[in-house]
Amino acid sequence: MADAPQDQIAPLLNPEGWELLASLGPYREDEAFRLNASLRKAGHSPELVSAVLTQSRLRTRAEAKFGEFARQMIFTRAGLEQATRLTVAARHAQRFAGAGIAHVADLGCGLGADAMALASLDITVTAVELDETTAACATMNLIPFRNATVVHSDATSVSLEGIDGVWLDPARRTTSTSGTKRLWDPEDFSPPLSFVESLAASGLAVGVKMGPGMPHDSVPADCEAQWVSVGGDVTEVALWFNAVRRPGIRRAALVLGPQGAAELTSGEDFDGGPVAPVGPVAGYLYEPDGAVIRAGLVADVALALGGHLLDEHIAYICAPELQDTPFARAYKVLEVMPLNVKALKAWVRDHGIGVLDIKKRGTSVTPEELRKQLLPAGKTGGKTGGKTVGKNKKTATLVLTRIGEDKVAIAVEPVQLPA
């Protein structure tokens, strides 16, 4: 189905559309055609049927980010892709609540995820959105919160009188007739990073969500930078200024996973901090979480594990003992081999490997292409979670990396620690 532009939102903004949408159960792709036909036969217009089915599908997708709240919300596809997960938005809101901020302007509120989290903590919220359709969605999503108001306006021109905190989620894509294109320069964002800094310079409590790939040299000097990962995926770096910046913290990695939240912090700037030793492949190999890598805290994790880096420029750690850490995935080292296609192909054949998981860092090898070269003809390879697949079809994990000038392949076994 196509995105939900204004003509697919407007039919929902009346009693008939809203009631029809509420009557639908979870979206099922295999039932969509039949449901489409039955709704039209019941007398609903094609435009309304298209709108409710599109929205039903988006609500089902949105459950990964919003949980049960998704069932009562309105989405656009682009807005959902860019929306902050509700668990992360709650942490943003807690920053402002903890600092005693009473009134927050959510500039570029999108569908209203952060505004919802702020309002749920009894903070007064002025949610500002330039796109008319998205602003309409935010208005519907914030109906349950009397302390939230949506303003259809440009984030850079709205009045901030009476407001003591600002949250921003700048647009990091540009749209043209050929589609959307990701922007990389923070000054090309809407609003730009310089606008964020000007707000902070005025003394307001300011937080801003940026893309996780933001270079360290683009991070302003007077803020705290917190990289966040959810279930192993790095979702953002949030920059915090003034009252919502924590004393003594320059950079942090917040890891949200099945076991809860864990955070690693440093008061050092990006060119400071401890230096980890470099050593051989042995014992257990640890693959740091992406937030740890982005925040420049790999050496901190290595030292905490009593381990060392394999190469000072590559984020792989080895340690003699197995330790449970939320900041890295552990593997038992089985064998170290040169990264040589002929030798690896023989190794795969001799070990009866039928499924191959390949990880890499510090080498230009493409895992998909190497997998095709190594596996017997007709085998697709892939991930199995460490299980044997069928008779004589074993699974294996290879880590490809560089140690100094040498390219190596490390055979490892994923370690599943007790919950």
CA distance linking residue 387 with residue 399, whole number of Å: 18
**In terms of pLDDT, which residue wins out, 249 or 11?**
249
Mean pLDDT of the chain: 90
Region 339-349: what's the mean pLDDT? 94
CA distance linking residue 93 with residue 124, whole number of Å: 11
- Tell me how many helices (H) and strands (E) the chain has: 13, 18
Region 89-110: what's the mean pLDDT? 97
Sign, CA torsion 303/251/169/26: positive
Give pLDDT, residue 180: 63
Task: List pLDDT tens digits, range 173-188.
Answer: 666 555 566 767 777 7
Strand ranges across the sheet with 148-152: 148-152, 124-129, 103-107, 165-168, 205-210, 233-241, 224-230, 251-257, 260-266
Give pLDDT, residue 1: 39
Give pLDDT, residue 379: 54
Using the predicted structure, report yes or no on whether residue 114 has a pLDDT greater than 60.
Answer: yes
Give pLDDT, residue 368: 94
Task: List pLDDT tens digits, range 243-278.
Answer: 999 999 999 999 998 889 999 999 999 999 999 999
296: left (phi over 0), alpha (psi -120 to 50) or beta: left
Task: List pLDDT tens digits, range 360-418.
Answer: 999 999 999 999 999 976 555 555 444 444 455 789 999 999 998 899 999 999 998 76
Contacts of residue 21, defined as CB under 8 A and 6 or more positions apart, other chains included, come to 12, 52, 55, 56
Q: Whose structure tokens read 């790939």?
A: 213
Cβ(174)–Cβ(157) below 8 Å: no
3-class secondary structure, 355: strand
Give pLDDT, residue 377: 67
- Burial class from Cβ neighbours inside 10 Å (0-12, 13-18, 19+) for residue 216 reads middle
